[in-house]
Amino acid sequence: MNEKRNKSDEPNLSLSLKTPIEYESINNIPTLEEAVNLELKNGQVDPNVNMKKLRRTISNRLSAQRTRMRKIEYTDRLKREAKNLEEEPVVEIVQNEELKAELKRLKEPTKALEDEEYMDMDQYLNFDNMNFSPSKNDGI
C-alpha cells in the first residue's frame, strides 16, 4: 500500500517555472491557477500526468519562489538599514558641529553684555571709593 514514489514515476514533470534572476516583487509571481494553466499551455508536460501531483509540484515551486523573493527583499531592507545606520553618525557629527558653532555665536553678544556690565560695576565701585568728604578748607 505505502509504495515509495520516485521522480521517474511521473514522466516529463520538468516544469517551465524558473527562479527569477532579476529582482522582482513578490506580487509578480503567478498564482497557482495561472501557473498551472501556463504550464499546461506552454510546458512540456505529459497529458497523462496526475493533475493533483502537477498542482502540488507547481504549488511547492511557487512557494519556494515566494520564499526566495521574501529573503531577497529582507536582505535588501537590512542592507538599506545598515547603510542608514552607518551614515547616521556622520550626520549627527555634522549637526553637533553646527550646533556648537551656533551656541558660540549666540554666546558672543551675551559675553559682550556681561563684560560691559562688569565694567560698569567696576566703575561704580571705584567711583564709590573716591573720597567726597568735604575738605576742611571749604568752610562749611
pLDDT at 6: 52
Contact between 36 and 54 (Cβ < 8 Å):
yes
Average pLDDT, the chain: 75
Lowest mean pLDDT: which of 54-63, 91-100, 115-124, 128-137? 128-137
Mean pLDDT of 48-69: 87
Grid cell at residue 36: 498551472
Q: What does pTM read for this prediction?
A: 0.45
At 116, the pLDDT band (50, 70, 90 cuts) reads confident
Residue 115: is its pLDDT beyond 70?
yes
What residue type is 20 in one-letter code? Answer: P
Residue 85, number of CB atoms within 10 A of its CB: 9
* Helix, coil or strand: residue 135: coil
Grid cell at residue 138: 571749604
pLDDT at 64: 93
So where are the chain's domains? 9-129
